[in-house]
């Protein structure tokens, strides 16, 4: 599920592409922002679909095993991936089936990666230990699936590379998707009941937040450039990172137009994002500029907050 921090990062990325483009099309930027955000959810579905593909590979593997010349019995194991509670739930979940169908989620064009992945898992001590048990607890089932997700999507480089080629959003979204998978699994440790996550906490509100933030930042660009420039006169333009400029513009736009978000929250959020996406000095630089501008804009009556505990 996307947090407000994730929404801000998605807007930052969309604005970066906008400012780098020769074709400054605000509508196209907005559409790409929403399309790219929805692609993150498709990757969440795709990672879970991989588990079903691995279970299918397992079934085919044991079906192809030759019978013993002595006993006439095929090689078998006590427990299979297909017996796992999560796999059984996922394979019978009508919502998941509909979502994968509607979003055209498939590994059919990447079956080599699926087969190679199953081969590596089958050789592991974790898989052998799990298959040697006649039964397993809910916790053991979930822990095993958690291990598979980590093994496949963070340690198997060929799977990571395949997904990078399949989606430009994979590398930047992996941590978010891992968090979504963890929540999907861990919420069920006591009861064995699983629930698919939604992409948004409140889709209407979150989409409105992103659309308004990207739109207002672009519409106010000339004004935001001016007031930021007044506070950075001693800095050469080419010494200020593009990401820093975008984050400052977004922070100011949010302060000016998002009346229900406290100024301090906006400042802290963008400073925090700068730690991961900009230079080591960005944190103090952004803080110094937007903190001074926030004070001035409030004194001019341009920042108005509405709501309990927000009126200053």
Residue 70 has pLDDT above 80, yes or no: no
Answer whether CATH 1.10.540.10 is correct for domain 220-299. Answer: no
Summarised one tens digit per residue, pLDDT across range 114-161 is: 999 999 999 999 999 999 988 888 889 999 999 999 999 989 999 999
Nearest to 264 by CA among 230, 295, 226: 295
Q: What is the pLDDT of residue 228?
A: 94
Neighbours of 221 (CB within 10 A): 17
> What is the spatial distance between Cα 101 and Cα 121, in angstroms, rounded to a whole number?
27
Q: Closest Cα to residue 267, out of 280, 248, 244?
A: 248
Distance of alpha carbon 17 from alpha carbon 28, whole angstroms: 11
The band of 78, judged by pLDDT with boundaries at 50, 70 and 90, is confident
pLDDT of 230 over the 60 cut: yes
Per-residue model confidence as pLDDT tens digits over 185-223? 886 655 657 889 999 999 999 999 999 999 999 999 999
Q: What is the pTM of this model?
A: 0.83
Confidence of residue 74 (pLDDT cuts 50, 70, 90): low
pLDDT tier for residue 279 given thresholds of 50, 70 and 90: confident
For residues 60-89, average pLDDT: 76
66 CB-near residues (< 8 Å, 6+ apart)? 74
Q: Does position 310 have pLDDT exceeding 70, yes or no? A: no
Q: In DSSP terms, which residues pair with 200 in a beta bridge?
A: 2
Neighbours of 253 (CB within 10 A): 25
Count of C-beta atoms within a 10 Å radius of residue 96: 19
Please give the Cα distance from 146 to 242 (Å, whole number): 38
Q: Are the CB atoms for 205 and 2 separated by under 8 Å?
A: no
What is the predicted pLDDT for the residue at 102? 94
Q: What is the rounded CA–CA span in Å between residue 194 and residue 186?
A: 9
Please give the distance of CA 244 from its chain centroid, rounded to a whole number: 22
Residue 49 belongs to what H/E stretch?
helix 26-63
What mean pLDDT, rounded, does the chain reach? 89
DSSP for 205-274, written as a single string? HHHHHHHHHHHHHHHTHHHHHHHHHHH-TTS-GGGS-HHHHHHHHHHHHHHHH-TTS-HHHHHHHHHHHH
Residue 302 has pLDDT above 60, yes or no: yes
Residue range 248-273: mean pLDDT, rounded: 94
Q: Two tokens at 186?
A: 């861990």
In the chain, what are the domain boundaries? Answer: 4-186, 220-299
Determine the pLDDT at residue 269.
95
Q: State the Cα–Cα distance between residues 190 and 198, nearest whole angstrom.
A: 21
Question: pLDDT at position 238, please?
Answer: 59
What is the model's pLDDT at position 1?
A: 80
HEC letters along 113-181: HHHHHHHHHHCCHHHHHHHCCCCCCHHHHHHHHHHHHHHHHHHCHHHHHHHHHHCCCHHHHHHHHHHHH
């Amino acid at each position: 599920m996307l947090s407000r921090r994730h929404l801000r990062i998605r807007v930052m990325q969309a604005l970066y592409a906008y400012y780098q483009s020769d074709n400054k099309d605000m509508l196209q930027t907005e559409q790409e922002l929403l399309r790219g955000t929805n692609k993150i959810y498709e990757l969440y579905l795709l990672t879970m679909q991989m588990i079903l593909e691995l279970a299918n590979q397992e079934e085919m593997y044991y079906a192809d095993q030759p019978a013993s010349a002595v006993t006439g019995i095929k090689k078998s194991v006590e427990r299979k991936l297909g017996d796992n509670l999560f796999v059984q739930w996922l394979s019978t979940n009508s919502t998941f089936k509909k979502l994968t169908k509607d979003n055209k989620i498939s590994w059919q064009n990447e079956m080599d990666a699926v087969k190679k992945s199953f081969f590596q898992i089958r050789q592991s001590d974790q898989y052998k230990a799990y298959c040697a048990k006649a039964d397993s607890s809910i916790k053991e089932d979930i822990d095993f699936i958690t291990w598979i997700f980590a093994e496949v999507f963070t340690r198997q480089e060929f799977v990571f590379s395949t997904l990078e080629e399949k989606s430009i959003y994979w590398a930047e979204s992996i941590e978010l998707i891992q968090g979504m998978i963890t929540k999907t699994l861990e919420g069920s440790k006591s009861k064995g009941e699983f629930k698919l996550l939604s992409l948004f906490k409140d889709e209407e509100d979150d989409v409105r937040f992103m659309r308004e933030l990207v739109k207002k930042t672009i519409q106010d660009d000339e004004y935001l450039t001016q007031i930021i420039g007044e506070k950075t006169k001693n800095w050469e333009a080419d010494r200020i990172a593009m990401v820093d400029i975008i984050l400052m513009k977004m922070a100011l736009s949010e302060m000016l137009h998002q009346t229900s978000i406290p100024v301090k929250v906006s400042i802290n959020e963008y400073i925090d994002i700068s730690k991961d996406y900009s230079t080591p000095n960005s944190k103090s630089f952004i803080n110094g500029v937007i903190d001074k501008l926030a004070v001035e804009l409030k004194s001019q009556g341009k920042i108005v907050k509405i709501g309990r505990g927000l009126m200053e």
